[in-house]
Structure formats: structure tokens, C-alpha cells
Structure 1
Amino acid sequence: MPDRAEIRLAEYGTVRLGAEQLTARDVERLRSLQASGRLTLDEAPSGWRLKADATVGVLVLDRVRLVIVPKFAVRGDRLMSWLSYALGAPAPLPATARRWATGPEGYADLVAAALLERCEQLVREGLRRDYVRRDSVEPVLRGRLDFNAQVSRRYGQLDQLYVRTFDRETDVWDNRVLGTALRAAQRLATQPDLVRDLASVAGAFPRAATSEAALRALDRTRYTPLNTRYRAAHTWARLVLRGGGVTDLLADRGTTADGLLLPMPALWEAVVRRLAVDATAPLGGHAVSGGGATGITVRGDLGNASAFRPDVLLGLPGRESAPRALLPIDAKYKRYDRHGVGAADVHQLLTYGAGYASGADPRAVIVHPSPGGMAHRVLRIDGPRGTLGSVHVIGVDTEVTPQEAAARMGKLPAWSAR
């Protein structure tokens, strides 16, 4: 494989590429990513202009390796704890913490190392085996004789027997998806030791015919006492296999791309959904569905009815005999620790507050990342006839553990009953 030039750009950043740096297949792959909102590719007089959106990670193309680094990243020694927290996967073991420092490789090596750790643990414990049907021709009887095949193909001769056996083997889907993901991770990782370890462990796992087949198997997987220990490894495998390269949509045309691209707004929403529940659980808070009868719906416009759904809708206990209060929370992957809240976000949160408030002063919450310290301020929106509502703006310190951040959030006055 020829050496690829590494091109680095920041999240939301722009880079110019020469016409010779992208092949026709690369352009097709990048156009597919543009259609999914991951990046923007425009023609320039001497080549191409590539702009990253709110996406970070690695994309391996034919001639270049794109590394998109976050504008305000979680520190390397904290990154895996936050990513594990968002995915609901176990955090790395202390014995392997040396693997979790971010380097020039960014997120790709981190996720590959997380997958490696869980697969190594499965190998140590012993891979799951299940009965697998095999049809074969044997000189002696094993399993059951396939009478139809014996009569139609051997015409009664018994020197070769068509048999059907059921043996306990590791060649089951729980293991195949991990073998496929380990081999995909090898192509993304750059640290020589990590690549070597991935290759070594991959030899213990069977693999699926294609990545798409492995993903379909993951989508069908249901966990029981027999395979529940695979859940964490499957979480990391899903992230590697769905890593942001071109997916099933173009697979039939042979268009594939090795990549691990993380959409940061979606990742932050997953963090906030869990963080809000953990922060308010000691106060009696719990998540409430924001759809159905509890949703905010717009009707009467052209086309179908639309809906407003906050990222998190919390149910909080009211004072004394007061009913439980509903508090809408929206995750914003923005630097609201450095600049004011935009008018569009204020309008959105006012709508949430008006839709779910039970008192005279509707309120809603914005949660944004705030590296370096927890922050809290309150926006009060007034009109000519009085207060329209309030928006609590909470900055979460991403330089501490998620558990510590949740504990700090729980002490804020934003959750107090009205």
C-alpha cells in the first residue's frame, strides 16, 4: 500500500487539496459524506476545497489520510471516560490506561484500543461457542446421515457418506462481528504496537463476509445470559464499523472508505441525556418521553405536522402537594462559555418552556461543554406584559470525570422546584 500524505484540519476548519491528491473514487466517497452532513467538498481553481463540519476523526482515502481534530477537545486522559459514558460502555481498565493518551492519531487509535481491550478479555475468558451445522462428505459416519444426498449422489454406495453434523464452534455471529471490526480497526490505527496487537487478536476471531453483513448482524443481536458479556465489545465494534465512512448505501457499487468520523453534536447529545438523569436522580428526577401526548406539535402548515422535541425531558418532584414539574433540556455543542446564546436558541428554549411549564415562569435548560470549569447563568426573557420565561445555561466541565460532572450539576439551582 503506498504511503499516504497526512492532512490535518480542525473541526469546522477548511483545507485546500490539489487536484492530484484526490482520485475519482475519493471524490465520490467525499460527496457521499457531504450528503450526510459530515463535510463539504467544493471545486477550486487548482483542486478542491474541503471544509469539515462538526465531525472529528480519521478518514483514509486512496492518496491522503484526513485527520480532523476537535476545536475544543476533551483532554486525552479524559476522552475515553466521556466516550464510554456516552455509549454506556465500560471505561478502560487501569492496567491498560497507557493506551488511552491522545496523540497525533486522535480518536481512531483510541477507539481501536478500546475494541482491542474488550476482545482480549473475551479471548482470556474463552470465546462463546454454539452448535453450528456442517454438511460434509466423510469416510465414516459422523452425526446424521443425509439420506437424500446419499441416495441421489452416491446411488447407494457407502464408500463416501454425506453427513450432517452439529459441532460447538466459535464461528458464530457474536464472534464474526468482532473479527470484522478488528480487521477494520487495523486499517485505521497508526501506532505500530496497536496494529500488531489488533492483528494478533483478530486471528482468534472468525469474520463476516462483509462489514455490511456484520452491521446487519449487530442490528439483529439480542443479549441473553449466553452473550451479555459481548455487549461492550459490540459497542466499540459498531462504532468502528459505522465509523463515518461510506456505508451500505453505496456498498453494492463497491464504494467503501476506511474511516472513523465522530459527529460531535450527536455525541454531546448522548452525554447530556445521561448526564441530566444522573445529576437529578438524587433529587427524584427521571427522564420522560418527549413524544406522543407530551410532545409539542405544529399543525395547520403546508405538509405534515412538525414537532418540537427537547433532547431530554426531565420529570422533577414539585413542592409539597404540587404536581411533578417537566423541565426541557437541550444539548448544544457550542462555546457558550465564550459567547452569548444565539437568538434562535433562545426562541427554541422559550418554546420548550412554554410547552412544558406548569407555573407562571416557564423555564428550560441549555447544557454545553465548558472545558476548565462548571458554569451556570440564567437568561431572563421579559416582554411588555411581564416575564416570558427563563433559560438556565449550564456549562459542563469536560476536564473532570463524567461522574464528578454529574455530581456538580446536581447541586445547581436549575433543578429547584417552583
Structure 2
Amino acid sequence: MTQRPKTVQVREHAWLCTEAVAPSLDCAQISPSAFDYLCQLSERFSRSGARLAQVEGRQRLKLDNYVGVLQTPCGTVIEIVPKHHAEGGSLPEARALLRKLLLARLDVPAREVGPAALQLFDAPLSEWVMQQFLQALDVLVGRGLRMDYVRVEEQLPFLRGQLNLNAQLRQPPGKGHYFHVRHDMYGPDRPENRLLKLALERVRQATQSPENWRLAQELSVRLHEVPASRQMAQDFRAWGTDRLLAHYRAVKPWCELILHQHMPLAISGEHQGLSLLFPMEKLFERYVARWLRRALAPGVEMRAPARSQSLCMHDDASIFQLEPDIFISQGTQRWVLDTKWKLLNEADWQGKYGLSQSDFYQLYAYGQKYLGGGGSMALIYPRTEQFTQPLKPFHFDERLSLWVLPFDLDAPMDEQALLGGEHLDMPYATSSGPALALSADKKIIEGIAP
């Protein structure tokens, strides 16, 4: 293992600066070289239509809503955790929340039982991801790697397989006793195994955890016959989906993460350390959508996101597509829900609770196009100590109304989390509202095959 890098822990919208400050989750000091790298990375994010940080002068920058782990070329590791409390909040709680959201983002069933188990491994997200990959790979290797036949062309002093006549006729003088042959070898050289070997090598070089490093060393010995992938994109496209590869499904999402298949474009080609960055609003949106899929009654149609309507027509073609985060329908009833990762204050009536007027314009357009100008919609925000109950409904007119609801991220996936969801009168799986019955997904979380 290499020397342990310097680690800085902050949360969303924190300040990073080069001058000495009292370290906290909202402000921290980094080296000038790390600061310069963040400025360059932020500029690349801006060119791709996103924003990583807001730079103020040459000594301070403010992070935006990306969370995860970022390693700079100088070795500084910046861990960015969610800010889901207006005041307070601890680093272990934020780490556990980020892991729970990431599991939903990847559609990976958690092997741990409940949020308490997610806090047992109190380390940055990158180490947790590497741990999940190593554990899944250990199980896979124990069950056996999938083998395949690979065509090999080589020169041998004896005949094996098929003689390559064209190459044999061009054999130079003095090597007539060698035969150019083609034959098939049965071994583990498959696209899936090559990608796993490449990811394993990256983990072995990047991990700072002694337990992860020891397991990576052991697995590296057990996979010594597998070559590392040299064409990642091509091998990922060739990853098989047949039933003989069913036991590879658990390890694939972690392999994709480590090999930067889910990374923002600005850092996807960089491999110093293990950088994992995710837009927090997308993690929140995916988690809410996954909760709703389990909460709704069987047979209810749900699209997340919906892309069937546009704002207007131009030259006989649709233009300005409208994409609500969640669209639910059952028969003639329809609902539109949108998620927003922002902290509201239910007591701040003068400041409109922190709501954005542009969001209301957006929901009004959704209501006209998706609901025909009549029905119920909802804006869903994270529940905090300053936003604990639904706001009174907002009425666009006598037919179209909008609810602003808090979503409790601390609640287990199988319990009521959408506070005030009963106001929407949606078809939940239980007659008592959003409280969930034990489902097949719940059995998966508890380690029971559905």
C-alpha cells in the first residue's frame, strides 16, 4: 500500500480554501495544488453543462450539489457527503445516507439489514464501494468463473488443431520445423472476467484499508490466469446477459463504478485514485422513485421519468420536451410528482418557504400537458427539522392543485417515508396509505430470495 493521503471531509455547498481555517463539515482547508485542480475540474464541468463548484477569487471556492469522493493528482482525498439537515448532522449519518441512496441508484439490493448496519463501515464512500466489489467478487470466484473457448493462433513444434496453410507457406527458411496452427483453448479469458480483473487491480492499488488490501491480494492470486481488459468499452458491450451469467449480476454495478462507467464526463477519463461523484438531486430522485414503486399497488403504471409530452408544437414537430420525474396512472386517474433536493423552512412564509417560482411554472406546464389541466401534483423535498409536515396545498385554479411534501430519508425503505402522501389519494399497496406491507424487495434486503 502507498502512503495514506490527506483526507478532507465536507458536505454539499461547503467552502474550500487555501488559508488556515477551523475544519468543519462546512469549511475546510486544502492545498494550493488541490485548489488549482478543483478549479480546472469545475471549468470542465461547466463546459459539459454541470457545475461542480463556484470559484471566488484565488483562495476560496464553494462546492455545489455533487457528493462522493474526489482524489486530486497531489493525493488529497476530498469526501463530500449529503447535507440533509439544515443544522447539525454527523459524518457517519451522512455517509450511511449516501450509501443507501447509492444502492437505490444502482438498483442493488442491500445485503445489510436496516440503516444501522450501513453505519458499521464508517469510511469514505470509495472504500465502501471497493469493499462491496471485493465481497461480491469473492462470492463469485467461490462459485466459479464462467469459462469460454478462445481462438488461439501460434507457432508450435507439433501439430495442434488446424494448420494455417497461408502462414505456413510463408514460413522463413530455418523454421520449417515449426507449425502455424489455430486451436481453441478453454479458459477464463472472457469480457466479464477481464473487466473484473482490471477493476481488481485498480482496487488493489487505490485502497487504504488493510482488510480491503488483503482481500484484493488474495483475489489477485486466484485470478492470475485472467488478463486485464485493454478495451473497457468494448468488453462492457460484450458483457453477457444469459442465465449462465446470472451470478455475475451482483458484482457488475460495483465493477462499473470502479471503472468509471457512471462518472461525470469531466472525470471519466482520469484514473488517479478512485473518484466517485454523483449529483445529489439524481440520487434523491432515484430513491424516491424506488420507494414509490414498492409502495404503489400492483398494476399501477409508473414512469420515472416521463417523456411523452412537449410544451408546444413547431413546424409539425414537438419542441421543448417536458420530463416530470415521476408520472403515475391507473385507469383514468393520473398524478405528476417532481423531486427537488433543497432544504425548505416551513416557518418562512415571507420567504415563500424557500420554494422557487420557476419550479411552480414547471409544474403548471406538467399539469396542463400530463393531467389535462386537472388533478393533483406534488413537489417532494427532503424532510428536515425545519420541514416536518406538508405545506397547505397550492391551487393553480379550482381543478389543478399542488402539494409540497417532505420525504423522510431516515425511514427504512419498507416504511412510510412520504409524509402527507395520503393527500394525493394514490393507489397504495395497503389500504392504510403509504405504509408498506412486506414485499419481495423487502425479502431481498433481508437476504431472503423472493
| 1:398 counterpart = 2:409 | yes
Change in CA separation of 1:39 and 1:167 when aligned onto 2, cut-off 3 Å:
same
Alpha-carbon shift at residue 122 of structure 1 (Å):
0.6
In 1, Cα distance between equivalents of 2:106 and 2:390: 29
Which one of the candidate residues 325, 349, 362 is aligned to 2:375? 362
Which one of the candidate residues 287, 301, 311 is aligned to 1:297? 311
* Partner residue in 2 for 1:311: 325
Which one of the candidate residues 198, 202, 205 is aligned to 1:180? 198
* Partner residue in 2 for 1:328: 336
Change in CA separation of 1:142 and 1:278 when aligned onto 2, cut-off 3 Å:
same
Change in CA separation of 1:28 and 1:377 when aligned onto 2, cut-off 3 Å:
closer
* Partner residue in 2 for 1:224: 242
What amino acid sits opposite 2:111 in the alignment? P
Alpha-carbon shift at residue 410 of structure 1 (Å):
10
Q: Percent identity?
A: 24
In 2, Cα distance between equivalents of 1:374 and 1:143: 72
What amino acid sits opposite 2:394 in the alignment? I
Alpha-carbon shift at residue 172 of structure 1 (Å):
1.1
Indicate the SS of the match to 2:214: helix
CA offsets, 1:390-417, max 9 Å, x none?
Answer: 22233222223223347x7797232348
Contact residue 380 and residue 389 of structure 1 kept, 8 A: no
* Partner residue in 1 for 2:15: 14
Change in CA separation of 1:404 and 1:184 when aligned onto 2, cut-off 3 Å:
farther
Alpha-carbon shift at residue 310 of structure 1 (Å):
0.5
In 2, Cα distance between equivalents of 1:387 and 1:75: 41
Q: How does 1:14-413 map to 2 (within 5 A)?
A: 14-17=15-18, 20-22=32-34, 28-29=40-41, 31-36=43-48, 37-40=50-53, 42=55, 44-45=57-58, 48-63=59-74, 64-72=76-84, 80-92=99-111, 101-103=120-122, 105-154=123-172, 159-205=177-223, 206=226, 208-210=228-230, 213-242=231-260, 251=269, 258-282=274-298, 284-288=299-303, 294-299=308-313, 305-317=319-331, 324-336=332-344, 339-357=353-371, 361-370=374-383, 377=390, 379-382=392-395, 386-387=397-398, 389-405=400-416, 412-413=422-423
User: Which segments of 5 or more consecutive residues in structure 1 lack a partner in the other structure?
Assistant: 318-323
In 2, Cα distance between equivalents of 1:198 and 1:12: 35
Indicate the SS of the match to 2:249: helix
What amino acid sits opposite 2:66 in the alignment? T
Q: For the aligned residues, what is the CA RMSD?
A: 3.7
Aligned residues: 395
In 2, Cα distance between equivalents of 1:50 and 1:244: 25
Alpha-carbon shift at residue 342 of structure 1 (Å):
2.6
In 2, Cα distance between equivalents of 1:23 and 1:289: 37
Contact residue 77 and residue 100 of structure 1 kept, 8 A: yes
In 2, Cα distance between equivalents of 1:255 and 1:79: 22
What amino acid sits opposite 1:285 in the alignment? V
Indicate the SS of the match to 1:85: helix
Alpha-carbon shift at residue 296 of structure 1 (Å):
3.0
Change in CA separation of 1:287 and 1:373 when aligned onto 2, cut-off 3 Å:
farther
Change in CA separation of 1:98 and 1:347 when aligned onto 2, cut-off 3 Å:
closer
Contact residue 129 and residue 169 of structure 1 kept, 8 A: yes
258-267 or 189-198, which deviates more: 189-198
In 1, Cα distance between equivalents of 2:193 and 2:424: 46
